[in-house]
Every structure is written in C-alpha cells, then in structure tokens.
Chains A and B, each alone.
Chain A
C-alpha cells in the first residue's frame, strides 16, 4: 500500500497530445489501479481493465446532450487519442435539473466521468459548477434527470451517504476543524471506536498510511490542523476523502489557495490517485492547469452542458472560451451618456497588503464607472475593502478629493460608501426595518441632541425607496422579508442618503434575479449621471463590460490590464483573468 511508483513511469508528466494510438492496449496503466487500489474498494477497483477504451468512448458520445452532439462526436474521438489508461464510466449524469426559487441553477447537465481520469469542469461564475458538485456530494437533490454511479441509479440523501458511496468532495473553503488533529479530521464523522472509546492508535496508524499514499508521510497524524499551511490542509482534506475509500474525488478550485510549487505537488498527488483508478473531477479557472493535469473537459454555461468530453490538451483555447461565453441570459444595460469629471475623485497609489494584493494604483473620476474584473481570490474584494479603510494597508495611499483615507470613519465622512460582497452578513440588520437600515450610516444626521427623529428618517427613506423603486415600498418592513435585489437597493440607498461621492460595489448583483439586475444597473447608471464615482467589482465579465466605462483586470493580486470598456471584449478579459494562452498562440 505504498505510492505507486511504477504507475508514474507509465504516465510521464509531460504527455504530448497525440502520443498514444487509439488501438494501443493500455496494459500497464490499467493494471496499476488494480494493484494499488486499497483493500476496501478492491472489488470495484479492479474492474477498469475489463472495459475496452473503444467501447466506452462510443457510449460517451451517445450519452452527451443533443444540443452539442456535433462537437461531442469529434471531442470524444479526440479524447480517445488524448491518452489511454482511462477506465470504464463510473459516473454519468443525464439531463440533470436543479431549480431554486427564481433560479434554474442546473438546466440539463450531461457529464460522464471515467475511472482513473481527471475530468475538468469549466464554466464562468454562475454556470452551475457549485450546484453540480453539491448535487454529487448529497447536499442538494436533483429535481430531474438521472445520475448513475458505478452503473446504478444514485441519489444520495445526505453528504454522509455520498461519502459512503465513495464520492468525496474537497470544497474550496476547506471544511476542516482547526483545533482537531490531522487524524481526527481525516476520520471526522466516521471515527474508529470500540464501545464508544476512540481507537486513537489505530486511527493514527491508518491516517499515517493514507498520508504515505499521498506522499506526505512527514505530516504527523497528531499535529493540529491549525498549524498546517494551506497546502497541508488540502492534503488533510484529501486524506479524509481517501479515508472513505473514495472512488471519485471532486476538487473545487483546489489550486486557488496554493502557491506555484505546491500546485506541482498537488498534481503529483492527483496523478498518483488516478493511477490507482480513482476518478477526479477538477474545477479550475486556470486553463494552464487544465491543460497540465486534465484528461477531458466538460464546459457548463447557464446550468447547461455546452460541450462534453473535449480533450483537455488539444482543444483550442478559443473553442473553450467560446463555449463558456455568449450568454443566454439577457443583460440589459441602460444606455448612458458618459460625463466624467476631469480631475480624479479617488486616487489609489501603490496600495499593498501582504498576501492579498500588491502595488495597486487606480483612479476614479466623478461620474465615472470603473470596473474590476477578476476571479474570487484574486484580491479584488480585499482591495476594495482596503480602499474603504476597512483593512489597514501595508503601504500605499488612498485619497478622496485630496483627503487621505485611513479609516472607515474617515472614508464615510469624506463621502465614500460601500456595498460589500456579503450583503446579509456585512451590510444589513435583517430584523430591523428598511428605514433603519437605510439610515444606518447617517442616523446621527437626523438626530437632534442625540435624540433620533424617526419621522425625518422615515420620510427620507421613503423618498429614497421611491427613487430606487424599492418593493415593497413600506419602509417599516423588516429587511429580512425583501428579495436579494431589493436588499441590495437598501444598501445602495443607505449611501445615497449620506450624500456619497464615491460608491464601492462588491458583486452588486450576487443573488439578484435577472429582472432586478436590470433595475440595479439603472440605479448605478443614474448615480454616475449625477456625478457619483463608482468602483465596481464583479466576477461576471459581461456585467463589468456592460456597466463600466473603464475596465481593470486583476489576477493574483495584481492589476494586470486596463482598457476602456469599448475596446475590450469578453473573451479577452476572460483569457486575462484565467491566465490562458490566447495571447501566446494556440497549442498544436
């Protein structure tokens, strides 16, 4: 039960796209899973070698959605040429639909995952990737469509059930308990015990074994997870997956928290896992990683599979990006006349925060909308919060109208307002009435001698509610009862009341339905027309392009590109954001 060295020899890390002929019998690669699969799953683990690659490819292409059948045909053939060593189909999703109130998060997903492959899921934010993995993990239940796992219908009632069935999920936000040891975390929820007493020694021994399998036997099972770096925590998450004898491991952006050399190590582990016949669903926004580690790619857009089983290494970036873009959701951006001031309202120079972002410089003029495009974790939200004074900067300056901003109080007094990313936890008092939420930053202004004047507050809030077309208009309603879009209007209304000159918006339309989005866009445009400067952050590229006058692209803590919104398109931004190779030419 050691790391499968021979298997690695058969699977060189730098695999050319077309090195293996279709007819070649992948003896070595398919044999190793059987040899190296842990005893617990040996019965199922030994099967991959039985199915022929040609047979499974045929099933693959017929199973994919009718809407993209043409592309799938070629994709499947390419995928076959890509590499061998991929076993039988272990997971198959067909027409899976999941609706939440107001949103069709999954709208007919096709997915096919084979034993021993790294299957990449690609899609923009909101494409349904998170919902999909939650369906697989047993957190959500599909409304329609079929899921088969190891040839049988699969509908896990709970995350535990999915785990027991052999599907483990490593979430982006690692779900570890910091104050438990590595071993305790690995076996959390299925502790080894006898008569209610933990069997600490055997747990530690088994954890040690799993860590060795992951090539990390230097991590002590007794060490507290708190003391591990991000990469170490990820190893523990993987150890937990293996402690369940997982046959499929879903990894949601595992590289987002890792440094470059740690990513290499992650890939080494993934290769060892797949060599043991374990299937991996790998989600990442970084195309270079997908090319490096992935075998096949399925692209999601608006909850639908737009392309399935594309070969990860040889599919042109252009095609991948085009499958991800071109919205079916209509973004209605209000037409507007741009009348910006001449002097900068906000000036940010060389702003840095260790480990978050570095040397950020930007300006926003009065009446201008500046958009920052970037992935989650690129440092964009941290940058916005630092500009607002909510996080102390390590170096650099923020000035608004010539005034240095160093604290929230100073920012608010100087005329800055912010609608943070997490509306409910960072901006609203959910049980308090609308008008009190609207006046949260300004109620002192309505007070005389410290005594609040509810009448004045209500009148001002009602006026703002009318202007923002807030529904319901009754400002004494608790904010909890409002829809996401109307809650966001309350937050924006708060800063309107304060006479804000610069508004910072972090993901303003997250959790807002399509109709309310258009209204929010109108509100933002109106604000700019009245001379308010807007600095906007969004993971939705079309939103940034449609709303902003000027676009900044942020990647890994750096502002890497700036262009007028009219001179840049979605594909270019997406490519910059994902660090793809569009600029560097296509792979052969």
Chain B
C-alpha cells in the first residue's frame, strides 16, 4: 500500500509565501475561476428562480394584453432591471457586511450624503469625474467611520450604523439646505438614459458590481477572510487574521457601493436630495437574507442576493402594471421575506440532519 510511505513523513514544511507546488492540472488560472461550481449558485437559488417565474406568470395572467407585446415585455424587463440596479449595488455591499458578521443600517443615509455632496454647486464645478469621485470618497469615508466605531470603538454594529443612519441624513439635509439639488451635468444625467447594445447602462453597472462582488467573495483572500471573520471570529483571530481591520474594510466596501448607487440614483432623478434612497437599508437587508445570507454571519452568496433584489423589483413592477396600491405590495413583500427564511431554515436543518447521518 502506498499508505505506508505517505504515513512515514509529513509534508515538507515551507513558509506560507512559498506553498508546495501543486500538480499542474490543479493549478487555477483566471480562465477556470468559473469552472466546477459554476452551476452551483443557480442550483442553490432554485427557489428564488421559481418565485421569479411564478411572478412573471402572474403578471402574464393578470395583464395578458401587455405580455402579448414582445417590445413591451423587453422594455418592461429593462425597467425591472433598472429599478433593481441601484439597490442591487447596495445589496452587494450589504451582503459582504452581513457575511462578515455585521449589519449596515446606514446605507440609505450614506447614499443621501454622497448624492447631496456630489451635487452641490461647488462639486458640480469640478465636472463629471469630480462629482463621481466625491460620491465614492464620501461613501467610503462614512463607511470607514462606521467600521472604526464598530471595530475599535467596540460599538455593536446595529447601534453604530443606526446612529450613522440618523446622523448622515442630518448631514445631507444640512448640506442641501433641505432643497432638491438639480444636477446640471449632462454626462451624469445621461448615464440613466444611455443604452449600449440596447441594454441600459445602469444594468451594465449592476452586472459589473455583482460580478466583481462574486469574484471578491469567492476567489480572493479578502472574501475568504470575510467568511472566516463572520463564521467564527475567534478562530479567525487565532489564525492570525486581523479581524478588526478586516471589519473596517467591510464597512468601507459597503460605503463604496453606496457611493456608486448615489451616482446611479442622481442620474436617474437628475437631482439629489436628503430624503433620497429612503428605506434602502431594509430592502438591501431583506434581499440579502432571502438570497440565503445568514444574518449571524459566515454564510451567504452574491448571486442569491441578486435574485433577492430581482424578486423585490419584480413584485414592485407587478403591482405597478396592475395599478395596485403600495400597501398591498408591502404586505406581500413581508410575507415573502418570512417564507424565504422559513424555507431556508428547513433546508439547512434537513441538510445538517443528512450530514449527521453520514457521520454516524
């Protein structure tokens, strides 16, 4: 048996910077990043895909005359995606924060500050790049404050970001003087209306952020640390990971996503105001959760979060085309959140039971 020879010696020790060379076939190049578990996110989110299909069927059943028109269906799909774009970007950042064991209640407020700050007359005078730069920097800066308060000030994430949610809205109102600030920058304003190959630019931005988020979570050391920090902070700490610093980075990442979303929303409305992105924090958390992210941290997927966002914007669209009230819409959304979490719990439970059986 080969067992005997391998047993005799432990693997050669080598410093972590120079790991033992792996067999050539197992080397991973960027080309096969998406191999292997490529279908896995789809399988895992079958439930949400099912919900999406059902929602479309309901739409087609209630408004058959609209769904008969191919052009309308195409445009309506883009409408749904466009509505999902800004909240989708925020949800990607939120998913990282939640997987890392935290929560960010201040995302809507960060968008407001970033949006308002980037549309002041002074900022607008620096041109398109100045405005985008300002939005992103403000977003990251507020996220950093959140992270530092939580990591080094030892505030509970809920409290720290709740305080930031209140305070940042105040800052936004102060900067704007409670006025709606109109964007005179046509480049910014055109982002929302531009289409490339027939698809709105905002949808490309969403796709880009989701793809980047997926790679960051699944293929980088940053993502690995995020799962470790959220899944078992003590184990991560004892493995030499700087848990506090990593937590700061997670909130900064969420802030960056808010900055991007601020630009997208400013473009859609061609203006910014202190009340913009109202309740985005709740929509983003809900989307992440129904997408399979564990609120206690350590587990979650970007693709699932994207489907969560799409389910919500499809519901909104479904109610809009049927001219139904937002009240009824909110009731349905609430029911969907509960149902999704119940289904997940059930699935996780049966999975662990299965694993328990194979163990014994």
Contact = CB atoms under 8 A, between A and B. Distances in A.
Interface of A: 101, 388, 390, 408-409, 411-413, 418, 420, 425-432, 436, 440-447, 450-456, 458-460, 463-464, 466-469, 478, 480-483, 494, 496-500, 526-527, 530
A440 B355 contact: no
Given A499-B13, A530-B13, A455 B28 contact: yes
Nearest to A463: B11
16 contacts: A408-B237, A408-B238, A408-B240, A411-B240, A427-B238, A429-B227, A431-B298, A432-B231, A440-B236, A446-B16, A450-B220, A451-B30, A455-B26, A458-B22, A468-B10, A499-B14
Contact of B19 (A413, A426, A456): A456
Given A412-B240, A425-B234, A467-B7, 11 more contacts: A408-B238, A426-B234, A444-B16, A450-B220, A453-B27, A456-B26, A456-B27, A459-B26, A460-B19, A464-B11, A481-B359
B72 interface: no
Contacts of A483: 359
Nearest to B33: A451
B238 A426 contact: yes
Contacts of A500: 13
Contact of A412 (B10, B222, B234, B239): B239
Contacts of B26: 455-456, 458-459
Contacts of A530: 10, 13
B334 interface: no
A530 B242 CA distance: 30
B235 A426 contact: yes
A453 B241 CA distance: 18
Contact of A444 (B221, B235, B298, B299): B221
A413 B242 CA distance: 13
B23 interface: yes
B28 to A, nearest CB: 4
Contact of B355 (A441, A452, A481, A527): A481
A409 B246 CA distance: 13
Interface in B228-253: 228, 231-232, 234-242
Contacts of A527: 10
Interface of B: 6-7, 9-11, 13-20, 22-23, 26-28, 30, 215, 219-224, 227-228, 231-232, 234-242, 298-299, 352, 355-356, 358-360
A446 B27 CA distance: 11
Given A390-B237, A455-B28, A460 B221 contact: no
Contact of A450 (B7, B20, B222, B237): B222
A179 to B, nearest CB: 16
Nearest to B222: A450
Contact of B224 (A418, A436, A468, A482): A436
B151 to A, nearest CB: 15
A496 B11 contact: yes
A455 B22 contact: yes
Contacts of B360: 101
Contacts, number: 141
B10 A429 contact: no
Closest 6 CB pairs of A and B: A445-B16, A412-B240, A459-B22, A455-B26, A441-B239, A442-B16
Q: Which has the most chain A C-beta neighbours within 10 Å: B18, B22, B227, B242?
A: B22
A458 B220 CA distance: 15
A92 to B, nearest CB: 35
Given A411-B240, A459-B26, A452 B352 contact: no
B9 A455 contact: no
Given A443-B221, A451-B219, A452-B219, A429 B240 contact: no
A424 to B, nearest CB: 8
Contact of B231 (A431, A460, A526): A431
B298 A409 contact: no
A455 B24 CA distance: 9
A447 B220 contact: yes
Nearest to B242: A409
A454 B237 contact: no
A458 B36 CA distance: 14
A431 B10 contact: no
Nearest to B356: A481
A30 B360 CA distance: 53
Contacts of A440: 228, 235-236, 239, 241
Contacts of A446: 16, 19
B19 A420 contact: no
A460 to B, nearest CB: 6
A418 B238 contact: yes
A451 B298 CA distance: 19
A460 B17 contact: no
A443 B18 CA distance: 11
Contacts of A494: 239
A460 B11 contact: yes
Q: Which has the most chain A C-beta neighbours within 10 Å: B6, B228, B235, B241?
A: B235
Given A429-B231, A466-B6, A481 B358 contact: yes
Contacts of A451: 30, 215, 219-221
Contacts of B231: 429-432
A425 B234 CA distance: 7
A494 to B, nearest CB: 7
B228 A429 contact: yes
A488 to B, nearest CB: 13
Nearest to B232: A429
Contact of A453 (B16, B28, B352, B359): B28
Given A388-B238, A467-B7, A425 B16 contact: no
A442 B360 CA distance: 31
Nearest to A415: B15
A347 to B, nearest CB: 21
Given A427-B238, A429-B235, A530-B13, A447 B355 contact: no
B18 A445 contact: yes
Nearest to B27: A455
B14 A456 contact: no
A90 to B, nearest CB: 39
A459 B23 contact: yes
B282 to A, nearest CB: 27
Contacts of B224: 436, 443, 452
B202 to A, nearest CB: 28
A478 B19 contact: no
A442 B10 contact: no
B298 A429 contact: yes
Contacts of B356: 481
A428 B239 CA distance: 10
B298 A467 contact: no
B144 to A, nearest CB: 20
A463 B20 contact: yes
Contacts of A452: 219-221, 223-224
Contacts of A480: 352, 355
A467 to B, nearest CB: 4
Contact of A478 (B223, B237, B355): B355
A135 B274 CA distance: 62
Nearest to B24: A455
